[in-house]
Amino acid sequence: MSTATEHRPHADHAHRHAPGCGHVAIPHEDHVDYVHDDHLHRVHGDHVDECVKSGHAVHEGHDHQHGQDCGHVAVPHGDHVDYVHDGHRHSEHDGHWDDH
């Protein structure tokens, strides 16, 4: 179900993400993502990375339909919206939900 997180450093990022930094913090697997300008950052050593998964991970058996008022946090992410659900993010894709 899960795929590896790519190592994509976000160049020239002076802001330090941490609890209380002003950006929405989302627990994600073994780290925390911070929502910043419609993408997600994760702290990695002395810099931040774009939190991007490699590959395509379908969330099998997911009958819940995410959307406005579904009860899960909606996070703008590039050209779509992710929904925070059980420590990961779901994104609608070709009639199913992917794990991000």
Residue 1 has pLDDT above 50, yes or no: no
Characterize 14-47 residue by residue with b for buried, 16 or more Cβ atoms within 10 angstroms of its Cβ, and e for exposed: eeebeeeeebeebebeeebbbbbeebbbbeeeee
- As a whole number of angstroms, the distance between CA 33 and CA 58 comes to 20
Q: The whole model's pTM is what?
A: 0.58
* DSSP reduced 3-state for 37: coil
Cα-Cα-Cα-Cα dihedral sign, residues 59, 61, 65, 70: negative
- Beta-bridge mates of residue 82: 75, 91
Cβ count near 83 (within 10 Å): 22
Tell me the per-residue pLDDT of 17-72, one tens digit each, with 9 for 90 and over. Answer: 788 888 888 887 788 888 877 778 888 778 777 766 656 576 777 777 888 888 88
